[in-house]
């Protein structure tokens, strides 16, 4: 086998030596270059085509001549041959991008331009070309990344949808960039963050349109929430989407056209009664800061079990009555960094306690608690040309419980979220990977424990474990320390602008540690299944089927999007 490879190497070396030894007549080379300068493409092709061994320069001229004659496959082959001869020259991938562009193969053109710019990042033509390709692919962040390198795009006018109700002053302040200036990628990202922070635009889009002379117009279009909803249908969907599980979400948006929102929840399930209301608005009419005040009251019956189905005896039970008021300020510092500070005062009472093997007197100590809340989120990596981002976050809740024996506790959580749209255009496919971990220090009360499982009041979803049984909470792992991984793959099945359906498989892995064996076994848990998302007028409903790979149980669950 080694001898065969050796002979193949000698044959290839001999062929290369023969090609280089048969040099092209310099007069013929000069003639081809002269014809190329005169743009006599047909003659360039006629003279260069028969040559067995063309130099890199001749392959370049020959490839461009073929491209002008729209002989795309031959042009690509000639340019690839020249690139193999001179792989460090950016001109070959640039022209290969041009061939792909003329064939409207924009993702392929973008890939060649990225190769060219790795060789020569300052190439003005290649940067402008790349921005144009991403512009045609409707990838605005990538467009701005490359145009900013050549001091573009210059915005001539900025217009807003005339049907929007929010105050024009507030909307103007949300836009970090302005007319008669260059819009930078960071300013565009900050604008997007502030618009999202207003809480009244479930979907929005900033479109750039070219004008004669190389300038651009920017226009803002959005679906806006006003009152109970911009339309009767939107109001009904957003309010009663949870009626099937005895919950409604009456909310009122954009009070006084100021992006002040009231969002509430009312649940009449006799096993887990809940009422909450939150009021939020821009701080001092500045969209980069937002304040929020909230109150939450719960009356819940808990039964601690190892499973939501099959034989699973009670390991403890209680009735929890909890009231809380909280306030916070959130700042959208930039397009990548967000922080929040707040506080919460709560009071809890535990009734009808059956300790079993899961509960201890320390866990169910009643009383008031005051927590200091802090969180931050930062986009660590953003590759708009690859449509990939990595975001990290951390949160802290430091509290003091006033009970028979006052005590302190601290809840720390960290997360990392990777999001990727694998196709260069569109959003047919979406991949998401999220890692989260948390730990409680000190003596936290029962209602401050973490839960791994599917439950509408919980955001740590382990989707093969349903957190309720007979409508009572407590059938999924509870504890003071967890690790959770959620992997999702979605495919868009249908979309018409108002109604979108996505579905795809998922895989969850998690582990919970607890102060008692009854709350959690401490084992690694593995779940898999399928999830569907139905979005109607900005309201999303999630339908999940999950399979617990360890226990072999199956579960179905539905909720509004987390």
Contact between 393 and 377 (Cβ < 8 Å): yes
Contact, 303 vs 469, CB < 8 A? yes
| Cis peptide upstream of residue 153 (ω within 30 degrees of 0) | yes
The reported pLDDT for the residue numbered 17 is 39
The CATH code of the domain at 22-138 is: 1.25.40.10
**Domain boundaries in the chain?**
22-138, 154-223, 232-560
Q: What is the average per-residue pLDDT within 90-103?
A: 96
Q: Which superfamily, per CATH, for 154-223? A: membrane protein fhac (3.10.20.310)
Instruction: Judge whether residue 5 has pLDDT over 50.
Output: no
* Fold topology of 232-560: Porin (2.40.160)
Q: State both tokens at 58.
A: 């001749």
What would the pLDDT profile of 295-317 be if each residue is shown by its tens digit?
999 999 999 999 999 999 999 99
Q: Facing residues of 547 across strands?
A: 528, 554
For residue 289, give both structure tokens: 């800061």
Q: Other CB atoms closer than 10 Å to residue 387's CB: what's the count?
A: 20
Which tokens hold the place of 154? 């210059």
Contact 266, 275 (CB under 8 A): yes
Phi, psi of 186 (to 5 degrees): -65, -40
- DSSP assignments along 23-50, one per residue: PPPHHHHHHHHHHHHTT-HHHHHHHHTT
E strand map for 231-366: 247-248, 251-255, 260-267, 272-283, 286-303, 317-331, 337-354
**Full-model pTM:** 0.89
- The sign of the CA dihedral 187, 188, 189, 191 is positive
Contact indicator for 196, 189 with CB cutoff of 8 Å: no
Supply the DSSP string of 207-225, one letter for each residue.
EEEE-TTS-EEEEEEEE--
Report the percent of the chain where pLDDT is more than 90: 81
pLDDT higher than 60, residue 3: no
Residue 515 burial (CB count, 10 A):
20
Looking at 5-14, 84-93, 536-545, 549-558, which range is the least confident one?
5-14
List residues bridging with 337 in a β-sheet: 378
Write down how long the chain is.
562
Q: For the ranges 64-73, 212-221, 345-354, 500-509, which has the lowest average pLDDT? A: 212-221
Which of these, 471, 472, 508, 474, lies nearest to 489 by C-alpha position? 508
**pLDDT of res. 267:** 97
**Range from 3-17, 34-48, 164-178, 353-367 carrying the lowest mean pLDDT:** 3-17
CB under 8 Å, gap of 24 or more: what pairs does 213-217 form? Answer: 214/152, 214/154, 215/153, 215/154, 215/155, 215/156, 216/153, 216/154, 216/155, 216/156, 217/155, 217/156, 217/157, 217/158, 217/159
Kindly give the interhelix angle for 140-147 and 124-136, rounded to the nearest 10 degrees: 170
pLDDT exceeds cutoff 60 at 489: yes
């Amino acid at each position: 086998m080694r001898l065969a490879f050796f002979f193949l190497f000698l044959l290839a070396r001999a062929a290369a030596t023969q090609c280089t030894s048969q040099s092209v007549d310099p007069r013929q080379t000069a003639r081809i270059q002269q014809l190329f300068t005169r743009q006599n493409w047909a003659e360039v092709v006629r003279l260069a085509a028969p040559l067995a061994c063309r130099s890199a320069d001749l392959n370049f001229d020959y490839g461009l001549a073929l491209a002008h004659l729209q002989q795309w496959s031959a042009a690509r082959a000639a340019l690839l041959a020249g690139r193999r001869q001179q792989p460090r020259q950016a001109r070959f991938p640039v022209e290969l991008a041009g061939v792909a562009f003329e064939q409207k193969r924009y993702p392929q053109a973008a890939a060649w331009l990225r190769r060219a710019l790795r060789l020569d990042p300052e190439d003005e033509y290649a940067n402008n070309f790349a921005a144009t390709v991403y512009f045609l692919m409707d990838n605005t962040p990538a467009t701005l990344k490359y145009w900013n390198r050549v001091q573009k795009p210059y915005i001539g006018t900025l217009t807003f949808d005339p049907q929007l109700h929010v105050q024009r002053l507030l909307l103007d302040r949300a836009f970090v960039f302005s007319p008669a200036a260059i819009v930078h990628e960071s300013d565009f990202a900050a604008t997007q963050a502030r618009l999202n922070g207003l809480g009244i635009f479930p979907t929005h889009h900033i479109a750039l349109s070219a004008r004669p002379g190389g300038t651009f117009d920017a226009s803002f279009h959005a679906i806006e929430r006003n009152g109970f909803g911009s339309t009767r249908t939107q109001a009904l969907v957003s309010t009663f989407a949870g009626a099937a599980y005895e919950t409604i979400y009456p909310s009122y948006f954009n009070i006084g056209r100021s992006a002040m929102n009231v969002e509430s929840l009312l649940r009449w399930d006799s096993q887990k009664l809940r009422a909450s209301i939150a009021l939020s608005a821009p701080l001092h009419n500045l969209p980069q800061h937002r304040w929020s005040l909230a109150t939450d009251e719960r009356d819940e019956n808990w039964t601690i079990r190892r499973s939501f189905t099959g034989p699973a005896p009670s390991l403890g039970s209680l009735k929890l009555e909890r009231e809380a008021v909280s306030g916070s300020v959130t700042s959208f510092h930039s397009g990548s960094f967000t922080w929040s500070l707040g506080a919460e005062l709560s009071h809890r009472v535990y009734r009808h306690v059956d300790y079993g093997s899961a509960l201890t007197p320390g866990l169910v100590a009643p009383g008031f608690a005051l927590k200091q809340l802090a969180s931050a989120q930062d986009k660590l990596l953003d590759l708009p040309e690859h449509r990939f981002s990595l975001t990290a976050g951390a949160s802290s809740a430091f509290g003091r419980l006033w009970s028979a024996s006052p005590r302190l506790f601290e809840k720390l959580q960290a997360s990392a979220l990777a999001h990727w749209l694998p196709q260069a255009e569109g959003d047919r496919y979406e991949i998401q990977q999220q890692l989260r971990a948390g730990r409680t220090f000190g003596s936290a009360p029962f209602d401050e424990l973490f839960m791994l499982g599917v439950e509408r009041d919980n955001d740590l979803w382990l989707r093969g474990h349903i957190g309720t049984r007979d409508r009572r909470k407590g059938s999924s792992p509870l504890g003071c320390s967890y690790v959770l991984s959620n992997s999702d793959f979605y495919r868009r099945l249908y979309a018409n602008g108002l109604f979108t359906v996505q579905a795809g498989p998922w895989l969850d892995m998690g582990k919970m540690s607890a102060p008692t064996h009854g709350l959690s076994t401490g084992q690694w848990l593995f779940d898999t299944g399928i999830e569907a998302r139905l979005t109607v007028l900005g309201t999303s409903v999630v339908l999940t089927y999950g399979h617990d790979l360890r226990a072999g149980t199956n579960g179905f669950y539905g909720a509004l999007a987390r």
